[in-house]
Structure 1
Amino acid sequence: MIRKEEAIAQPEAIFNAASDYFDAPALSFWNRFGQQTIDRLSLRSGDHVLDVCCGTGASAIPAAVSVGSTGQVLGIDLAESLLELARNKSRQQGLENIEFRYGDFENLGLPNESFDAIVCVFGIFFVPDMLAAVRELWRMVRPGGKLAITSWGEKVFEPANQNFWGAIEAERPDLCRKFTPWERICDPASLQSLLEAGGATHVEIFAEVGTHELVTPEDWWTMVLGGGLRGTIDQLDPAARERVRQANLHFLRTNEVHSLEVNVLYAVAQK
């Protein structure tokens, strides 16, 4: 069994490493899905918002714009490198109603019913005990407030993702994933059940089937380096890493892959 401190350390290390590519143009989907999450909340001027697993602010910054100068947004993440990027971006936009803080959102110690909206975009599945995490987030939602959980659906960056793991298996079978964290909640029924079991009420699930465009095949490799797959790549020796890269690019070029399937689930609950 993975101990809690190990479960925290793994994504923290991976995303600190991935910070060098996290905001590259090839990863524009972070902003796209972050904005769409906020759009579903219909935030009001003056609202107080908590964004956990906030990354570089893809949802926290749009939230800060939505709630205006009388509102307040608190972004929490484990990766300090991503938080520094988020702080720089918010300063560049002149936002004074937003704070980015390092923390484990399972143990924030914030008061009950203290936020009008709480957001977690592509982060809940990193927590071993997702049910406890939902309960903790729901505890901090004010009556009338909303909790938004955004997660991956059944197809994520296909067909490139499947080819990536095939190339990894050829090099290092021990690194080949048999299971991805979001598979626990990759269909609407599972995600809805999780939120309701965690106490959330009036849960609505919105399933989005879309694509992410690749300008060049190299965009996919940039995505690998700027996301969760970075943790696998960094365990390869340089020669194996280059073979995996070449195998990925060859697959995309040969099959003329110019876009990737991306399924996303948006869950919104109201207290």
Structure 2
Amino acid sequence: MNNPLNQDQALARIEAVFNAASDYFDAPALSFWNRFGQRTIDQLSLRSGDCVLDVGCGSGASAIPSAIRVGSTGQVLAIDLAESLLQLGRQKAQQQGRHNIEFRAGNFETLGLPDASFDAIACVFGIFFVPDMVAAVRELWRMLRPGGKLAITSWGEKVFEPANRVFWDAIRAERPDLVKQFTPWDRIREPDLLKALLEEGGATQVEVFAEAATHALETPEDWWTMCMGGGYQGTIDQLDVAAQERVRQTSLQFLQQQQIRALEVNVLYAISAKRNSKGTARK
């Protein structure tokens, strides 16, 4: 982040932004949460009976697939700062009859759980919100059992382009001071940077997979729904109503005029395996 917030202030801001974003978070336009959440879990080699920790869980895009994989004998603990998102997750789990998942409000850096508590740990689009990412990785690694896997997913170099570029150009025209003030994922947007982060945090056998994907737009309005259902709402909310509408119109007019039907999005998946006493990790 480019603003001088201390850790408590930064976490409070994230909590406020995503509580506000919860009204849009599960809209069809934001189906990418489920898509990339599922792909992350596919990398963890989960087994029936496993105990899984999902931090920055949102409304359950990766936690619920984990609960399905580990079955009735397994357990998923899903942690997030935003109570509104957790409530959405609880509702979805209840509707699906998933009783092996607990959605809990909190900061995963201060859970105070014992060493080696989980068979697998996932953090999907969340690690970059933590001011000290190395310390955060170290804490997750501490809670992972020998033989288990840690999965950290982040945004790559292109994030919903070209709509993203037009959005920030429109923000610059209104409030130059807000440009890229809340895009912390830029710190690890390259595979080498993400790999180095995990290794500095103590993770071993780190592999990073880059995915060049696209996200379809049914209508240009989908883009604004995406902005309101994610971290960009933190920027939008700092504009007055008239400025918000100008940014919205600039973005939507561009998409309409250029007939943009899909956005480019790069995703990075980092998978780390912790060796057990035999020197092996699950495959």
Superposition TM-score, scaled by structure 2 size? 0.94
- Matching residue of 1:252: 255
Q: Partner of 1:143 in structure 2?
A: 146
Q: CA deviation at 1:96?
A: 0.6
Residue in structure 1 matched with residue 26 of structure 2 by the alignment: 23
Q: Equivalents in 1 of 2:21, 2:137: separation in Å? A: 26
Choose 179-188 or 115-124, whichever is displaced more: 179-188
- After superposition, what is the alpha-carbon deviation per residue over 1:68-92, rounded to whole angstroms, capped at 9, x for unaligned? 0000000000000000000000000
What is aligned with 1:81? 84
Q: Which residue of 2 aligns with 1:112?
A: 115
1:185 pairs with one of 184, 188, 191: 188
Number of the residue aligned with 2:239: 236
Equivalent residue number for residue 72 of structure 1 = 75
When structure 1 is superposed on structure 2, of 233-242 and 24-33 the one drifting more is: 233-242
Q: State the TM-score, normalized to the length of structure 1.
A: 0.99
**Residue matched to 2:39:** 36
Q: For residue 166 of structure 1, report the CA deviation from its aligned partner.
A: 0.6
Instruction: After TM superposition, give the deviation of residue 183 of structure 1 in Å.
Output: 1.4
Letter of the structure 2 residue corresponding to residue 16 of structure 1: N
Identity between Structure 1 and Structure 2 (%)? 73
Q: Distance in 2 between matches of 1:44 and 1:205?
A: 22
> What is the CA distance between 1:179 and its match in structure 2?
7.1
Name the aligned partner's letter for residue 88 of structure 1: Q
Q: Given residue 255 of structure 1, which amino acid in structure 2 is its aligned partner?
A: Q
The residue number in structure 2 matching 1:222 is 225
Change (3 A) 1:178 1:80: closer
Aligned partners of 2:230, 2:186: CA distance in 1, in Å? Answer: 17
Q: CA RMSD in A?
A: 0.9
The aligned residue for residue 158 of structure 1 is 161
Deviations 1:102-135 (A, max 9, x none): 0001111011001000000000000010000000
Residue equivalent to 2:281: none
Residue of structure 1 equivalent to 2:10: 7
Q: Is it true that 1:101 corresponds to 2:122 in the alignment?
A: no
Report the alpha carbon displacement of residue 172 of structure 1 after superposing the two structures with TM: 1.4
135-144 or 3-12, which moves further after superposition?
A: 3-12
Alignment gaps of 5+ in structure 1: none
CA distance in 2, matches of 1:35, 1:191: 20
Equivalent runs, 1:56-71 vs 2, <5 Å: 56-71=59-74
Measure the CA separation in 2 of the matches of 1:171 and 1:4.
28
Q: Which letter maps to 1:126?
A: F
SS of aligned partner of 2:157: strand
Aligned equivalents of 2:175 and 2:7: distance in 1? 26
Report the count of equivalent residues: 271
Aligned residue in 2 for 1:265: 268
